[in-house]
């Protein structure tokens, strides 16, 4: 039997990066120089995030604006999930930490500064960190995330330090919308409130975006989706920032919990659910390359996206480490070469029919009624199905259809399994996991125990351990066809109709 993963046809909105984040062709339309810049950046390339890690250093405590979704005690919601930063670092400490992580996690390719306040409201600390790192660790890409208020005045300095990835959080291009998100900004020594504040912020963001793209810097725009406030408006934001040269748009869900003490949290502003987020991302995708794999990292996150190894690199632990960065550079180069060889091998296998035997999705195109299906995957990186169901802290969700396989986004869960074959012991957590998988037709893991298997089947989610170590997209496509052939998707449809 022949393997073939069919790409989303261009006439349906196009694959590019917009709707087919997991495709090998995601970057194919870009000039070589840009492909080179993003190919191992875990945030700018969905493919790369399976293989490479990032880290943040929390050197920037102050902020120059107030967002209604932020409480200063917590990480910047622009780039992080709420949670206090464990340690605020000086630039010297940040450099030491970065070198230690680079030596111990050779897949770490990107150092970002994303808070806990706004990096550009702390320009001395932020730029001192970048300056030292561009000298001492030239193989690490430097990345910064900002609300944009202070950006235009700092663009030239950022460019001098080789920072060619900048994220601007742009939640609106209309000051009336902005006035509902930002109660005030601190601008030219004065606190400015209301619509005027939003007007200044928007103008600075747009000017900064234009200046950066004019200098060839890759700009990603993050937007927080706030239902009833800017959700509809973000389609317009997407159009505007694309027209000004932004490379990628990352629409993230609002995180608003009362216990975080944010204005929105306390006021009961709701967050969007997974379906609403996906619908908006799809609507924006017609105009923009969309990022769908964001994990809303902490401002001191360390490791692969979705994992946090910060505890291994506290100041105390780093002090005790002996770091030979010259030797680490060699090891890093070896590891990166090995990863690239593996990626190339995966691409070759895909192009030549792949490792998983199944019939071509082409045959399904003639069946317009073929249903779409969401399939969740547990993985710990490498682009393959390689994690035990009970160990998964998150699932990557893919949509399979006659048009191919596309990445939809991650869904986070708590791990409930403490050993290899103990799945199902903590039923309440299993039930929570099942809730997170709501809407999925199946789930692929490297291994799964009988109790969760039965619990999943009972709610119409078909588990499988048959695709362990297979490349994710190929496995999803093969599993999708298995579900179709077995009538599972039709039965699901009927069950859903009955429930409705």
Binding site for ligand SF4 (CB under 6 A): 63, 65-67, 70, 76-78, 115, 117-118, 147
Q: Using CB under 6 A as the criterion, which residues of the chain lie in contact with ligand CLF when the complex forms? A: 43, 54, 56, 79, 110, 112, 114, 143, 145, 165, 167, 220, 250, 294-297, 305
Q: What is the distance between the alpha carbons of residues 400 and 402, in angstroms, rounded to a whole number? A: 7
191 contact partners, CB below 8 Å, separation of at least 6: 184, 185
Task: Say which entry of ligand SF4, ligand CLF, none residue 117 contacts (CB below 5 to 8 A, set by partner kind).
Answer: ligand SF4
Picking from 75, 60, 85, 62, the residue whose alpha carbon sits closest to that of residue 314 is 85
Task: Say which entry of ligand CLF, ligand SF4, none residue 161 contacts (CB below 5 to 8 A, set by partner kind).
Answer: none
Q: State which H helix or E strand residue 210 sits in.
A: helix 194-214
Task: Say which entry of ligand CLF, ligand SF4, none residue 295 contacts (CB below 5 to 8 A, set by partner kind).
Answer: ligand CLF
Q: Tell me, what DSSP letter sits at residue 9?
A: P
For 388, counting Cβ atoms within 10 Å of its Cβ (0-12 exposed, 13-18 middle, 19+ buried), the class is buried
Task: Say which entry of ligand SF4, ligand CLF, none residue 118 contacts (CB below 5 to 8 A, set by partner kind).
Answer: ligand SF4
Task: Say which entry of ligand CLF, ligand SF4, none residue 114 contacts (CB below 5 to 8 A, set by partner kind).
Answer: ligand CLF
Q: How far is the CB of 376 from ligand SF4 (least distance, A)?
A: 30
Bridge partners of 384, per DSSP, are 471
Q: How far is the CB of 186 from ligand SF4 (least distance, A)?
A: 10
- Per the structure block, which two tokens stand in for 390? 């009970």
Q: How far is the CB of 188 from ligand SF4 (least distance, A)?
A: 17
Backbone angles phi, psi at 4, to 5 degrees: -155, 120
Backbone angles phi, psi at 405, to 5 degrees: -120, 130
Select 26 or 80, whichever has its Cβ closest to ligand SF4: 80
3-state secondary structure of 331: helix
**CB atoms < 10 A from the CB of 427, how many?**
12
Q: How far is the CB of 198 from ligand SF4 (least distance, A)?
A: 13
Select 15 or 76, whichever has its Cβ closest to ligand SF4: 76
Task: Say which entry of ligand SF4, ligand CLF, none residue 296 contacts (CB below 5 to 8 A, set by partner kind).
Answer: ligand CLF
Q: Tell me, what DSSP letter sits at residue 60?
A: B
3-state secondary structure of 298: coil
The residue with its CB nearest to ligand CLF is 112
Select 186 or 325, whichever has its Cβ closest to ligand SF4: 186
Q: How far is the CB of 296 from ligand CLF (least distance, A)?
A: 5
Q: How far is the CB of 72 from ligand SF4 (least distance, A)?
A: 7
Percentage helix, strand, coil for the chain under 3-state DSSP, each rounded to 5? 40, 15, 45
């Amino acid at each position: 039997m022949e393997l073939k993963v069919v790409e989303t046809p261009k006439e349906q909105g196009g694959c590019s990066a917009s709707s087919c984040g997991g495709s090998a062709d995601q970057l194919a339309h870009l000039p070589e120089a840009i492909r080179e810049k993003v190919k191992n950046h875990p945030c700018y390339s969905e493919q790369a995030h399976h293989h490479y890690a990032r880290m943040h250093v929390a050197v920037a405590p102050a902020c120059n604006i107030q967002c209604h979704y932020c409480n200063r005690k917590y990480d910047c919601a622009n780039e992080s999930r709420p949670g206090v930063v464990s340690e605020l670092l000086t630039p010297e400490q940040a450099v030491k930490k970065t070198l230690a992580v680079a030596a111990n996690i050779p897949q770490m390719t990107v150092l970002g500064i994303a808070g806990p306040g706004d990096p550009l409201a702390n320009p001395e600390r932020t730029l001192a960190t970048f300056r030292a790192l561009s000298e001492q660790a030239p193989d690490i890409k430097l990345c910064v995330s900002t609300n944009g208020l202070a950006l235009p005045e700092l663009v030239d300095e950022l460019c001098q330090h080789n920072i060619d990835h900048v994220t601007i959080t742009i939640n609106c291009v209309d000051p009336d919308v902005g006035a509902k998100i930002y109660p005030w900004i601190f601008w030219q020594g004065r606190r400015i409130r209301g619509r005027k504040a939003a007007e200044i912020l928007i103008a600075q963001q747009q000017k900064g975006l234009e200046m950066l793209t004019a200098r060839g810097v890759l700009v990603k725009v993050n937007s927080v989706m706030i239902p009833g406030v800017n959700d509809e408006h973000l389609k317009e934001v997407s159009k505007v920032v694309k027209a000004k040269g932004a490379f990628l748009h990352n629409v993230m869900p609002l995180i608003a919990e009362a216990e975080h003490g944010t204005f929105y949290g306390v006021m009961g502003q709701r967050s969007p659910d997974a379906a609403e987020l996906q619908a908006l991302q799809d609507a924006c995708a017609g105009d923009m390359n969309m990022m769908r794999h964001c994990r809303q990292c902490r401002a001191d996150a360390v490791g692969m996206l979705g994992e946090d190894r910060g505890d291994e690199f506290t100041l105390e632990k780093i002090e005790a480490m002996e770091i030979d960065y010259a030797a680490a550079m060699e090891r890093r180069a070896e590891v990166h070469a090995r990863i690239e060889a593996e990626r190339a091998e995966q691409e070759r296998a895909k192009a030549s029919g792949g490792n998983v035997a199944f019939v071509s999705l082409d045959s399904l195109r003639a069946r317009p009624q073929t249903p779409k299906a969401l399939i969740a995957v547990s993985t710990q990186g490498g682009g393959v199905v390689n994690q035990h169901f009970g160990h998964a802290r998150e699932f990557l969700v893919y949509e399979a259809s006659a048009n191919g396989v596309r990445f939809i986004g991650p869904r986070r869960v708590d791990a409930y399994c403490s050993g290899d074959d103990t799945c199902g012991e903590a039923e309440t957590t299993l039930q929570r996991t099942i809730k997170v998988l709501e809407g999925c037709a199946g789930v692929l893991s490297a291994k799964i125990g009988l109790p969760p298997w039965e619990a999943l089947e009972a709610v119409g989610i078909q588990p499988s351990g048959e695709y362990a170590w297979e490349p994710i997209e190929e496995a999803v496509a093969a599993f999708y066809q298995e579900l179709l052939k077995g009538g599972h998707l039709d039965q699901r449809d009927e069950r859903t109709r009955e429930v409705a």
